[in-house]
């Protein structure tokens, strides 16, 4: 089952540029003045509309499972704010984290093969 998050952003055009040019996501305009960004199976939709009546916030980390995390890390590490470096985690993934242009935390993780 696919999951798409809908998140508020302060600048749709800036978010478009960041996800396309900095993180290498495929970016396209979607319904009702929203923007959808896609990297492998990770999909996030952004809107500037205040649909929730609260300040922009997310109390967690958005995890994107990707196939080649080392190669992806090498391609973005000098262009993004690294929240935590690429490392093997005790729970079985190899991952790193970034803080995006809206202040959201994203982790890019490759799961280890279970033997």
Cα angle, residue 85 at apex, residues 111 and 21 outer, rounded to 5°: 90
Residue 108's H or E segment, with its range, is strand 105-111
> Is pLDDT of 114 > 70?
no
The pLDDT value given to residue 106: 98
**How far is Cα 27 from Cα 13, in angstroms, rounded to an integer?**
11
**How far is Cα 69 from Cα 23, in angstroms, rounded to an integer?**
13
User: 21-77, pLDDT tens digit by residue?
Assistant: 999 999 999 888 899 999 999 999 999 998 888 888 889 999 999 999 999 999 999
User: 77-112, pLDDT tens digit by residue?
Assistant: 999 999 999 999 999 999 999 999 999 999 999 987
> Is pLDDT of 1 > 90?
no
The pLDDT value given to residue 11: 94
The pLDDT value given to residue 101: 96
- Domain boundaries along the sequence of the chain: 4-111
Higher pLDDT, 113 or 40: 40
Topology of domain 4-111 in CATH is 2,3-Dihydroxybiphenyl 1,2-Dioxygenase; domain 1 (3.10.180)
**How far is Cα 12 from Cα 21, in angstroms, rounded to an integer?**
14
């Amino acid at each position: 089952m696919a999951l798409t998050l809908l998140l508020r952003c302060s600048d749709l055009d800036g978010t478009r540029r960041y996800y396309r040019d900095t993180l290498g996501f495929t970016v396209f305009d979607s319904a009702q003045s929203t923007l959808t960004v896609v990297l492998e199976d990770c999909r996030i939709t952004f809107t500037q509309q205040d649909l929730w009546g609260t300040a922009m916030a997310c109390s967690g980390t958005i995890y994107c499972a990707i196939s080649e995390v080392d190669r992806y890390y090498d391609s973005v590490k000098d262009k993004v704010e690294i929240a935590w470096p690429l490392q093997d985690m005790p729970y079985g993934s190899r991952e790193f984290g970034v803080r995006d242009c809206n202040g959201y935390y994203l982790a890019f993780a490759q799961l280890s093969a279970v033997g």
